[in-house]
C-alpha cells in the first residue's frame, strides 16, 4: 500500500508541477451557459446543510450535515496562535498542543493510544500562527467513546513531563532540520529581513532551538489552562447524525468551560527597510532558490477576495513567462497567505537567477499596467469553482474550512459566498491592487556564490520599491 513514510520520498515520484502549484483556489452549476459555475442554488443548499448553535456557556457549535457517509469529523478551535504568545515563549503553545494528545486525566497515554487503535480514531492537535486547533476523526458507531476521550484530552490533558520531553526532542529535531531543506531555509533567510525583531509572526528556526532548550515542562499546563479559560472555543462537526444529538453530546462534555469573549489584537504590517531587504546564503546547490516576501491584504481586508484573484493571475503569468516561454525554471509561482496580516510571496528555482528576476520584474510591470478584459477575468475565475468544491470533498476538509472561516470572520458567509464575491471583482480592481500590493519585496537567495551578484538582486528590490 502507499504508506506515509517518515523518511522523505525523494525521487521515487516525479511530477509535472511541484505539488504546491498543482492546486488552485476556487468554483459549478449544471449549465455551462451560466458563467457562474457555482450556482446560487448550490450555495443555498450548502448553507441549508449548515447550522450554528450555542451551548449554555456561549460556546459556538457549527454543524454541517453530510448524509453521504457515517464518517464524523469534529474540530475544536481557538482564535489564538503563536502570534499571541510573547517573544521568548513563542514555542510554548506549539509544544503544548503537540503534547496534548499524549494522554489526559481519565485517559493516560497507554489507554488513549489503545483506544485510538481499537476504534481507529484520528486525534490531532496543533497550534498555528493565529489559531490553535484539535481534530477528531471517527465514525457514527464509535462517536460516544471517541467524544469522551477527545473531550478529556481537551479539558484535562496530563502534560506528563516524560511525554513533554519526547515532544520537545521532536520539535527540536524539526527546527534543526529546516536548515537542510533549501525551500524552508530560504524562507528563514527572508524572514530575517521581513519581520522586525519581536514581531508577533516572527518565529525563526534558529531562535526556536535556543528557546525550546530553555522552556520548562512545568510551564505547559499553566499556559494551556490559561488559554482554555480565557479564549472562546468554537466547535465544528461534520456528520450524518442528527444535530440535536450532537448538540446534546457536546453540551454534556464542554459546558464546564466559562463564558468568554475575546477580540484578537491587530497585527502590525512590518515596515520596509532599505538596510535589510536582501539576504544571500552561499550553498553549493545547482539551482538557485529565490523567495520574495511582501505585504498583502489581511484576511478581513475589503481587498482580500480580489487579492486572491490577483495572485492567481500573477502566478499564471509568471508560469507562462518564466517557465513556458523561456524555460528558466521548473517552479515559479506566486501566492498570498491571508492571516490577520497578509503576505505576498514569489517563489522560483532557477539555474539563471539574474535572467529570471528580470522576467519576474517584467511580469510585475505588466500586471500593474494591464487592463484585463472581463472575459479574461472570467476565465481566471473558473479555476476557483473547482477548488471551491474540492474543499468540500472530505469531512475533515469541510470542518477545517468552516472552522478557519468562523475564527477569522465570526461568520461562515465569507466561505460560502466566496464565489459570488469573486463574480464582483473587476479588471480595474485587479490593476489597482497590483499597484497597491506588488511592491517592497524582501528577497532571499540561496545559491552558489559564483553564480550570484548583489547588483542584479538589488536592482530587483530597487525596481519594486514604493
Interaction pattern, residues 301-330, with another protein; x per rule: CB under 8 A: ---------------x--xx--xxxxxxxx
DSSP, res 255: T
State yes or no: residue 379 binds another protein (CB under 8 A): yes
Residue 191 or 315 with smaller CB distance to another protein: 315
- Locus of grid cell 533567510: 189
Least CB distance from residue 239 to another protein, whole Å? 12
CB 196 within 8 A of CB 229: no
Least CB distance from residue 146 to another protein, whole Å? 11
Burial 132-146 (b: 16+ CB within 10 A, else e): bbbbbbbbeebbeeb
Among 118, 132, 124, residue whose Cα is nearest residue 99: 124
State yes or no: residue 217 binds another protein (CB under 8 A): no
Interacting residue with another protein among 152, 281, 383, 404 (CB under 8 A): 383
Q: Which helix (H) or strand (E) holds 413?
A: helix 413-416
Which residues inside 419-458 make contact with another protein, applying CB under 8 A? Answer: 447, 450-452
Q: Of the ranges 8-16, 128-136, 250-258, 300-308, which one interacts with another protein (CB under 8 A)? A: 8-16
Cell representation of residue 451:
553564480
From CA 274, how far away is CA 218, in angstroms rounded? Answer: 43
Q: Are strands 60-65 and 234-239 parallel, antiparallel or unpaired?
A: parallel
Residue 376 or 417 with smaller CB distance to another protein: 376
Q: Of the ranges 82-90, 126-134, 174-182, 430-438, which one interacts with another protein (CB under 8 A)? A: 174-182
Q: Of the ranges 29-37, 410-418, 423-431, 435-443, which one interacts with another protein (CB under 8 A)? A: 29-37
Among 384, 444, 394, residue whose Cα is nearest residue 418: 384
Which residues inside 323-362 make contact with another protein, applying CB under 8 A? Answer: 323-331, 349-354
Residue 275 or 284 with smaller CB distance to another protein: 284
Residue 18 or 128 with smaller CB distance to another protein: 18
Residue 271 or 286 with smaller CB distance to another protein: 286
Least CB distance from residue 435 to another protein, whole Å? 24
Least CB distance from residue 236 to another protein, whole Å? 17
From CA 463, how far away is CA 466, in angstroms rounded? Answer: 9
Interacting residue with another protein among 53, 70, 106, 124 (CB under 8 A): 70
CB 423 within 8 A of CB 275: no
Among 65, 80, 240, 252, residue whose Cα is nearest residue 150: 252
- Locus of grid cell 506588488: 438
Residue 84 or 238 with smaller CB distance to another protein: 238
Cell representation of residue 434:
497590483
Q: Of the ranges 5-13, 76-84, 292-300, 399-407, which one interacts with another protein (CB under 8 A)? A: 5-13
- Locus of grid cell 530597487: 462
Least CB distance from residue 30 to another protein, whole Å? 6
* Long-range pairs, 163-170, Cβ under 8 A, ≥24: 163/99, 163/102, 163/103, 163/109, 164/95, 164/99, 164/102, 164/217, 164/220, 165/217, 166/102, 167/95, 167/98, 167/99, 167/102, 168/95, 168/212, 168/215, 168/217, 170/98
Q: Of the ranges 26-34, 239-247, 335-343, 417-425, which one interacts with another protein (CB under 8 A)? A: 26-34
Q: Of the ranges 124-132, 163-171, 224-232, 435-443, which one interacts with another protein (CB under 8 A)? A: 163-171
Interacting residue with another protein among 8, 86, 265, 302 (CB under 8 A): 8
Strand-pairing partners, residue 137, are 73, 122
From CA 457, how far away is CA 412, in angstroms rounded? Answer: 43
Residue 10 or 274 with smaller CB distance to another protein: 10
Least CB distance from residue 132 to another protein, whole Å? 23
- Which positions ≥6 away from 68 have C-beta within 8 Å? 240
Least CB distance from residue 214 to another protein, whole Å? 19
Size of the site for another protein (CB under 8 A): 99
State yes or no: residue 395 binds another protein (CB under 8 A): yes
Q: Which helix (H) or strand (E) holds 207?
A: helix 205-214
Which residues inside 265-304 make contact with another protein, applying CB under 8 A? Answer: 283, 285-289
Which residues inside 111-150 make contact with another protein, applying CB under 8 A? Answer: 113-114, 116-120, 137, 139, 141-142
From CA 444, how far away is CA 124, in angstroms rounded? Answer: 33
Least CB distance from residue 80 to another protein, whole Å? 28
Interaction pattern, residues 33-52, with another protein; x per rule: CB under 8 A: ----x----x----------
Interaction pattern, residues 95-114, with another protein; x per rule: CB under 8 A: ---------------x--xx
Residue 416 or 452 with smaller CB distance to another protein: 452
Q: Count CA within 13 A, CB hemisphere, residue 46.
A: 20
From CA 415, how far away is CA 1, in angstroms rounded? Answer: 35
Amino acid at each position: 500500500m502507499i504508506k506515509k513514510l517518515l523518511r522523505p520520498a525523494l525521487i521515487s515520484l516525479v511530477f509535472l508541477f511541484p505539488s504546491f502549484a498543482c492546486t488552485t483556489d476556487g468554483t459549478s452549476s449544471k449549465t455551462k451557459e451560466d458563467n457562474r459555475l457555482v450556482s446560487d442554488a448550490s450555495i443555498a443548499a450548502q448553507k441549508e446543510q449548515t447550522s450554528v448553535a450555542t451551548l449554555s456557556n456561549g460556546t459556538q457549535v457549527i454543524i454541517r450535515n453530510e448524509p453521504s457517509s457515517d464518517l464524523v469529523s469534529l474540530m475544536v478551535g481557538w482564535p489564538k496562535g503563536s502570534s499571541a504568545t510573547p517573544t521568548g515563549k513563542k514555542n510554548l503553545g506549539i509544544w503544548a498542543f503537540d503534547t496534548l494528545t499524549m494522554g489526559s486525566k481519565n485517559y493516560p497515554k497507554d489507554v488513549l493510544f489503545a483506544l485510538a487503535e481499537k476504534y481507529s480514531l484520528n486525534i490531532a492537535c496543533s497550534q498555528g500562527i493565529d489559531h490553535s486547533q484539535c481534530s477528531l476523526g471517527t465514525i457514527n458507531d464509535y462517536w460516544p467513546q471517541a467524544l469522551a476521550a477527545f473531550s478529556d484530552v481537551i479539558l484535562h490533558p496530563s502534560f506528563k513531563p516524560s511525554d513533554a520531553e519526547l515532544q520537545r526532542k521532536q520539535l527540536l529535531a524539526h527546527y534543526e532540520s529546516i536548515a537542510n531543506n533549501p525551500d524552508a531555509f530560504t524562507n528563514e533567510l527572508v524572514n530575517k529581513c521581513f519581520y522586525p525583531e519581536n514581531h508577533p509572526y516572527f518565529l525563526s528556526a534558529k531562535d526556536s532551538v535556543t528557546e525550546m532548550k530553555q522552556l520548562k515542562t512545568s510551564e505547559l499546563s499553566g499556559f494551556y489552562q490559561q488559554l482554555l479559560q480565557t479564549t472562546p472555543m468554537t466547535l465544528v462537526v461534520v456528520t450524518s447524525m442528527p444535530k440535536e444529538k450532537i448538540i446534546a453530546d457536546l453540551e454534556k462534555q464542554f459546558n464546564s468551560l466559562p463564558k468568554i469573549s475575546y477580540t484578537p489584537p491587530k497585527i502590525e504590517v512590518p515596515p520596509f527597510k532599505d538596510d535589510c531587504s536582501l539576504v544571500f546564503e552561499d550553498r553549493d546547490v545547482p539551482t538557485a532558490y529565490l523567495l520574495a516576501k511582501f505585504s498583502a491584504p489581511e484576511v478581513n481586508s475589503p481587498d482580500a477576495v480580489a487579492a486572491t484573484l490577483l495572485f492567481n493571475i500573477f502566478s499564471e503569468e509568471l508560469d507562462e513567462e518564466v517557465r513556458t516561454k523561456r524555460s528558466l525554471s521548473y517552479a515559479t509561482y506566486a501566492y498570498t497567505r491571508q492571516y490577520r496580516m497578509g503576505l505576498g510571496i514569489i517563489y522560483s528555482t532557477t539555474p539563471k537567477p539574474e535572467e529570471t528576476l528580470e522576467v519576474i520584474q517584467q511580469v510585475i510591470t505588466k500586471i500593474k499596467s494591464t487592463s484585463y478584459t472581463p472575459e479574461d477575468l472570467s476565465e481566471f475565475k473558473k479555476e476557483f469553482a473547482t477548488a471551491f468544491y474540492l474543499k468540500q470533498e472530505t469531512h475533515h476538509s469541510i470542518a477545517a474550512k468552516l472552522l478557519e472561516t468562523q475564527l477569522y470572520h465570526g461568520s461562515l458567509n465569507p466561505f460560502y459566498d466566496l464565489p459570488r464575491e469573486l463574480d464582483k471583482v473587476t479588471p480595474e480592481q485587479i490593476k489597482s491592487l497590483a499597484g497597491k500590493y506588488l511592491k517592497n519585496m524582501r528577497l532571499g537567495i540561496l545559491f552558489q556564490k559564483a553564480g550570484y551578484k548583489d547588483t542584479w538582486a538589488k536592482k530587483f528590490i530597487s525596481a519594486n520599491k514604493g
